Structure 1
Amino acid sequence: MTQENAESGLLAIIEDDAAFARTLIRSFERRGYSTIHARSHDELTDLLRQYQPDFAVVDLKLESSSGLSCVEALRDSDETMKIVVLTGYASIATAVEAIKLGANYYLAKPSNTDDIEAAFSRKEGDANIELDGRQSSLKTLEWEHIHQTLIENDFNISQTARRLGMHRRTLARKLEKRQIR
């Protein structure tokens, strides 16, 4: 899935949803990017042996691993690469970890190609961003804690349930209600 003569640079798309990955690939190739695609951390590692991407879009929750490990691998391969993390359920915990690991920006789905490309070009934070005066609900705080514990346990449900002191099935039900993508 590589296009040779792109002017915009090489873009790595790390996404396990095949349909969404195809959509991103087509959209970015129309904009002049060359693309490579990986569905997991292992596939990304193999690609990084052959290619040096200028940009990367990383899905936070991959089927076989955390996208955060991919962010770390991408940053280790090139300190100047522009990395955007894309997720269906944004949380403070994952946003903080993504930035600490080297992501330049963090976007919640649904985001389109314009949003992602704009994030690539952002160099500084925005001190004028609108602050939401609403306090977090108890459910949101619980979800943040669950999600942070999931990250700490590399998305292992059984281990996370043990650390949270809850039954595995209870945790699975909570996760079904709020999909991580």
Structure 2
Amino acid sequence: MQDTPQRLLIIDDDEMLCHVLDRAMTRRGYQVIVAHDAEEALALAHRHQPQLATLDLKLEHDSGLKLLPDLLDVVPDCRVVVLTGYSSIATAVEAIKLGAVNYLCKPADADEVLAAFDRQQGDPEIEVAEQPPSINRIAWEHIQKVLQEHDGNISATARALGMHRRTLQRKLQKRPVRR
């Protein structure tokens, strides 16, 4: 590793995940800084100019996708990996378009995160699914796409989908369905 440790900004509202990832990355020689919301993340990015960042897609009161361009405005050379427990094709595509170098589904361990920072190219050998996604997974993906189109606004998304807002909220509280 280098003489000066690389600075890693962890942005996640899950304090336990932050603690575990902080310890694992510190043991690997990184200087770790932790933020739990967008405002704190931007302030720490200004102050510390991290080379690397992990960004939770769904912060408690903020969207990681909305924060990503602002973070890269503050630290243009920062390599950002988006982590999420709410993965969808739509959010993965948007994260990459907005400047993330990779997108990982939680749970991801420290080695997977470090590998995601280092991957420069796509993998043409990645396995293609044997079966098409389930109808429930397609519905989940569609909801995520429409939610993204409405900047995370639950009421506008519910209107666009023709469903009651509370029904949409219940669906969003569940983990994404398996493929």
TM-score greater than 0.5 by the shorter chain: yes
SS at match of 1:35: strand
Q: Does residue 126 of structure 2 align to residue 129 of structure 1? A: yes
SS at match of 1:56: strand
Percent identity for Structure 1 against Structure 2: 50
Matches within 5 A, 1:130-149: 130-149=127-146
Q: Which amino acid aligns with 1:61?
A: K
SS at match of 1:166: coil
The answer to whether the 8 Å contact 2:90/2:145 transfers is yes
SS at match of 1:21: helix
In 2, Cα distance between equivalents of 1:118 and 1:167: 41
Corresponding residue of 2:79: 82
In 1, Cα distance between equivalents of 2:133 and 2:3: 44
Corresponding residue of 1:95: 92
The answer to whether the 8 Å contact 1:75/1:81 transfers is yes
SS at match of 2:82: strand
- Using the TM superposition, give the Cα deviation of residue 133 of structure 1 relative to its aligned residue in structure 2, in angstroms: 2.9
Computed over aligned residues only, the root mean square deviation of the Cα atoms, in angstroms, reads 1.9
Corresponding residue of 2:174: 177
Q: Does residue 13 of structure 2 align to residue 16 of structure 1? A: yes
**CA distances 1:20-73 after superposition (whole Å, capped 9, x unpaired):** 111111111111111111111111121122121000001110001111122212
Matches within 5 A, 1:150-161: 150-161=147-158
In 1, Cα distance between equivalents of 2:3 and 2:107: 26
Q: Give ranges in structure 2 of 5+ residues lacking alignment.
A: none
Relative distance call for 1:144 and 1:6 in structure 2 (3 A) is farther
In 1, Cα distance between equivalents of 2:173 and 2:128: 30
TM-score under structure 1 normalisation? 0.89
Q: Give ranges in structure 1 of 5+ residues lacking alignment.
A: none
Selected match of 1:57 from 33, 54, 59 = 54
Selected match of 2:37 from 27, 35, 40 = 40
TM-score under structure 2 normalisation? 0.90
- Using the TM superposition, give the Cα deviation of residue 151 of structure 1 relative to its aligned residue in structure 2, in angstroms: 1.9
Write out the 4+ residue segments of structure 1 that deviate beyond 3 Å after TM superposition: 5-8
Relative distance call for 1:68 and 1:6 in structure 2 (3 A) is farther
Q: Does residue 107 of structure 2 align to residue 110 of structure 1? A: yes
- Using the TM superposition, give the Cα deviation of residue 177 of structure 1 relative to its aligned residue in structure 2, in angstroms: 2.7
In 1, Cα distance between equivalents of 2:70 and 2:152: 18
Corresponding residue of 2:25: 28
